[in-house]
Every structure is written in C-alpha cells, then in structure tokens.
Structure 1
C-alpha cells in the first residue's frame, strides 16, 4: 500500500507541477499577445534604395544606348552602295538596249518600205518595157484584166 501512496503522492506532485507550468504558459501567452512587434526596416530600406539607384543608372545607360542606336540606324543605308550602282547600271543598259532596238526597228521598217517602193517601180518599169517589146502580150493582159473585173 505504501507503494500506491507513493505513486499517488508522485502523481499529485506531477499534476501540481503541470498546473504551475500551465499557468506560466498562459501568462507567457498573454504577454506575447500583448507585446507589439515593430520590425527594423532601416537596413532593408537602405538595401532597396541602393538597388533602386543602381537600376536607375542602368536604365539611363540603356536609354542613351538605344537612342544612339536609333540615330545610327536612321542614318545608315539599307543597301550597299555597290549594289545600287550595279542595279542602276543594269537599268541604264537595259533602257539603252530597248531604245536602240526600237530605233533599229523603225529604221529597218522605213528601209523596207523604201525597198518595197523601189522594187515596185522596177517591176512596173520591167512590165512596161516587156509590154513595149511584146505588144500582143499587152493586148492579152488587158483583155484578161477586163474579164477579171
């Protein structure tokens, strides 16, 4: 029985310690709830300010580089000079060739017309001489020509 009394006494003692610890925890919890925390933001704000300043510097540098690049691109040629010269030369050569061809066609058609007239006159002269040499052929031709119409 003594053992049960000892165990009961130990149990009562442990329960009273537990109650004491509970009271302390309630008191600490109440103090924790009442305590106001104010975080120290000075270090964080100084870090953020330095970062913002460095970003501003980088942003200004980028802006000046982009504006310089834009100026350079607006001044630059989009096609190489040699290509423009080559294209101009080819176009000029083509224009000259077409102009010369048109001129030659015109001259040759005029020459052909002159040769046609000359040939027609020679043929008429030849027929006239033939009809003068052979008057019976002329009479047959005139008879044939009147029958044809």
Structure 2
C-alpha cells in the first residue's frame, strides 16, 4: 500500500505541475493575444541605404571612367591636324593642276589651227615678197598655174 500512496502522491504532484504549466500557458496565450507586433525595418533600411550609397559610388566611378575614355578617344587622332590640312591643300592643288591640264589639252586643236593660220600667212607673205623681188619667178609661177589642158 505504501507503494500506491507514493504513486498517488507523485501523480498529484505531476497533476499540480501540469495545472501550473497550463495556467502559465493560458497567461502567455492571453499576453500574446493582446501583444501588438510592430515590424522593425531599421536593419533592412540600413542595409538598403548602404547598398544605395555603394551603388551611387560605383555609378560615379563609372562616369569618371567613361569621361576618361571619351577624353582619350577625342585626343587620340591617328593623323595630326597639320597633316590633314596639308593633305587637303595638296589635293586642291592637284585638282587645279589637273583641271588646267585638261583645259590646255582641250585647246590644242585651237592652237594648232591658229598656228597653221599664222604659218600660212607667213608663207604667203614670204612668197609675195619673193615674187615682188623677182618678177621673172612670178611670171613662171603664173604660167605654171595655168591648166595643162590648153597645150
């Protein structure tokens, strides 16, 4: 019987502890039901602000690098400016000389005709002077000019 009394005592103690645990759970349940949870985003805001600042710094560095690249691209000209100007000047001179040459070549036939006319005038003038100086040669020339068919 003593054993039964011990077991009964242990059971009553366990039941009392269980009741105490249940009452504490009910208190906690009541507390948790009335407890208002406020979301705390301070840590997330801090992380996002820091990330935003880091991104701004990265973007500024990229702009600086891009400015440097554009600056060096603008400065890196393959040919110096004076060489380009000299090239264009020579090109203009070549076109002028070429145009003048074409003009002169196209006038060659006119020059030939003019030279032929001058040569003809000189030859006729020379023959006139010769015939005036020697009338016998003029008479022989006039006979020679007559048609051969009269003979």
Q: TM-score range by the shorter chain?
A: 0.3 to 0.5
State the TM-score, normalizing by the size of structure 1: 0.47
State the TM-score, normalizing by the size of structure 2: 0.47
